[in-house]
Chain A
Amino acid sequence: MIVAEPKPVKEILEMVQDSKKILIIGCKGCVTVCNVGGAKEVGVLASTIKIARKKLGIPIEVDEFLLERQCDPEYVDEVKEVIGQYDSVISIACGVGPQFLSERYPLARVLPGVNTQFMGGAVEHGIWAERCAGCGKCAIHLFGGICPIARCSKSLLNGPCGGSDHGKCEISKEVDCVWDMIVRKMMEQDRLGELLAFKPPKSWITARDGGPRKMIREELVK
């Protein structure tokens, strides 16, 4: 899933400082799962903004809305009757949400309420970690089912580097050295030979480096 973190409230307050009436739109998708953009979070953000503005003596009207997802036109359509009433609209969906809203409602002032970070999953309750960098050509089978592009700080394909330190990456003790994991796993599975095969330079054309991407299912296009 896509993992995001809330924007600092100060940043959001600055964005709406000239607004008198705003709408906060949440999303029942990924951001609900990582507890930054669902129903609860919409409520908390609305309350926080109201309290902050009350303290400043510049009250603000804040309405709340929740969409199934903000990455599909039919759901984004659901706010069409109401969106025109607001000075600003804060979307706390991932980066896709506010953009879809902006495209669909060109006259609305759409603001992002979260900082979208990565594709990952829950490793512990309350902790999500990056797993996929969306390189467009998955080859994790060559590395024991583990991705060095996303999880190695240097995206090495022929790792580890000399900075691998007791299973931790040189950049921080909080970061596991994924190559240490890969090597140990392959050694355990007696597949070291596969790692010794030279991995040639990667084509980054399928990644974001090659330009903004589209995925088309021909059989579905009308």
Chain B
Amino acid sequence: MSNSKPRIVAFCCANCASSAANVAQGMKKVLPENVKVIQVPCTGRIEILHLLKPFEEGADGVYVAGCQSDSCQYMEGISKASKRVAHVKKVLQEIDMEPERIEIFELSASRGGRFVDVAYEMTERLEALGPIL
């Protein structure tokens, strides 16, 4: 009868996403406890395997938060990440899992509110989808 929250892993880039995180802190907005953040230098460095591993280890959902495409610190990082997230969505579909369990969000550096909002958004989405089984 566990009503535990969905376990979510969030890959956040060290630039826009982290700036947004700092802004959020300043706004006294806090990420929900069920979201574990992994900071990466740039979302472009995230490999397909990194996106799959959390599911292997029991996560209910994964998301990537990075710069917006026209202001990515490393130019193409976010667009590479986008393609890899799209690929993992296909993989999930092939194994009869909902592609909505993985997502990518583009944040601008100042949007602290948004940074926290997407975490709640994913949580709600995954609660609606239910656990993986």
Q: Convert B38-78 into 0s and 1s, putting 1 for each residue whose CB lies closer than 8 angstroms to a CB of A.
A: 00000000011100110110000000000000000000000
Q: Convert B77-106 into 0s and 1s, putting 1 for each residue whose CB lies closer than 8 angstroms to a CB of A.
A: 000000000000001001111000000000
Q: Which one of A10, A13, A50 lies within 8 Å of B56 (CB-CB)?
A: A50
| B97 touching A55, Cβ below 8 Å | yes
Interface size class of A (residues with CB under 8 A): 10 to 19
B132 at the interface (CB under 8 A from A): yes
B27 at the interface (CB under 8 A from A): no
| A8 touching B49, Cβ below 8 Å | no
In the complex, what's the smallest C-beta–C-beta distance from A47 to chain B, in angstroms? Answer: 4
Which secondary structure dominates chain B's binding surface? helix
Q: Give the nearest-CB partner of A11 in chain B.
A: B94
Residues of B within 8 A of A52 (CB): 95-96
Q: Convert A37-66 into 0s and 1s, putting 1 for each residue whose CB lies closer than 8 angstroms to a CB of B.
A: 000100110011011101101000000000
Which secondary structure dominates chain A's binding surface? helix
Rounded to whole angstroms, the CA-CA distance of A40 and B50 in the bound complex is 11
If A8-B94, A57-B133 touch, whether A51 touches B49 (CB-CB below 8 Å) is no
Q: Give the nearest-CB partner of A62 in chain B.
A: B56
Q: Give the nearest-CB partner of A53 in chain B.
A: B95
Within residues 89 to 133 of chain B, which ones have a CB less than 8 A from any CB in chain A? 91, 94-97, 132-133
| B49 touching A40, Cβ below 8 Å | yes
Residues of B within 8 A of A48 (CB): 52, 91, 94-95
Rounded to whole angstroms, the CA-CA distance of A69 and B99 in the bound complex is 35
Most buried by B among A8, A9, A50, A51: A51
Rounded to whole angstroms, the CA-CA distance of A43 and B91 in the bound complex is 14
| A40 touching B133, Cβ below 8 Å | no
Q: Which one of A47, A54, A55 lies within 8 Å of B49 (CB-CB)?
A: A47
In the complex, what's the smallest C-beta–C-beta distance from B129 to chain A, in angstroms? Answer: 13
| B132 touching A44, Cβ below 8 Å | no
| A47 touching B95, Cβ below 8 Å | no
Known A-B contacts: A9-B95, A40-B48, A55-B96. Give 13 more (CB < 8 A).
A9-B91, A9-B94, A10-B94, A13-B95, A44-B52, A44-B91, A47-B55, A48-B94, A48-B95, A51-B97, A52-B95, A52-B96, A55-B133
> B residues engaging A (CB < 8 A)?
47-49, 52-53, 55-56, 91, 94-97, 132-133
> A residues engaging B (CB < 8 A)?
8-10, 13, 40, 43-44, 47-48, 50-52, 54-55, 57
